[in-house]
């Protein structure tokens, strides 16, 4: 039984294919490990986001904000008797007088942006 060139080239081709298959499998395993690591990092970041959202919800609680505003800033809730109507505002804080005429500056019910158009 003699080996011909075709047999040698065929054997060399099989060895090359086996090496290529081994290399592809090792690369796939490396990529798979990287994907698993990245998935772990993503999950850790999601846990941290959930933790931060929970902390923010705790910090923004109205009762906690009210306690902090009263205790640290000396603020008090607005009492109902401190709320005034538009008609009462002129009595509480008079409008400045116009220098040219003794009349009061007129008050419009439109916002300033609309009144200047």
Q: How far apart are CA 113 and CA 29, in angstroms?
A: 65
Query: What are 46's two structure tokens?
Result: 């999601």
Domain ranges in the chain are: 5-115
Question: Tokens 């500056």 appear where?
Answer: 105
Coil, strand or helix: which one is 44?
Answer: helix
Q: What is the pLDDT of residues 88-111, one digit of tens each?
A: 877 777 777 665 555 555 555 554
What pTM value is reported for the model? 0.48
Q: Does the structure show a pLDDT above 50 at 113?
A: no
What confidence score (pLDDT) does residue 18 get? 96
Residue 72 CB coordination number (10 Å): 8
CA 6 to chain CA centroid, nearest Å = 66
For the segment 18-22, the average pLDDT, to the nearest whole number, is 96
Q: How far apart are CA 57 and CA 64, in angstroms?
A: 11
Question: Tokens 């060139």 appear where?
Answer: 5
Cβ 58 vs Cβ 64: under 8 Å: yes
């Amino acid at each position: 039984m003699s080996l011909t060139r075709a047999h040698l080239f065929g054997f060399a081709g099989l060895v090359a294919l086996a090496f290529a298959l081994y290399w592809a499998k090792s690369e796939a395993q490396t990529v798979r490990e990287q994907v698993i690591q990245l998935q772990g990092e993503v999950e850790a970041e999601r846990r941290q986001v959930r933790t931060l959202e929970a902390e923010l919800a705790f910090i923004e609680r109205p009762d906690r904000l009210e306690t902090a505003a009263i205790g640290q800033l000396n603020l008090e809730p607005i009492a109902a008797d401190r709320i005034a109507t538009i008609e009462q505002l002129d009595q509480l804080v008079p409008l400045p007088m116009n220098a040219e005429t003794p009349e009061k500056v007129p008050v419009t019910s439109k916002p300033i942006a609309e009144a200047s158009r």
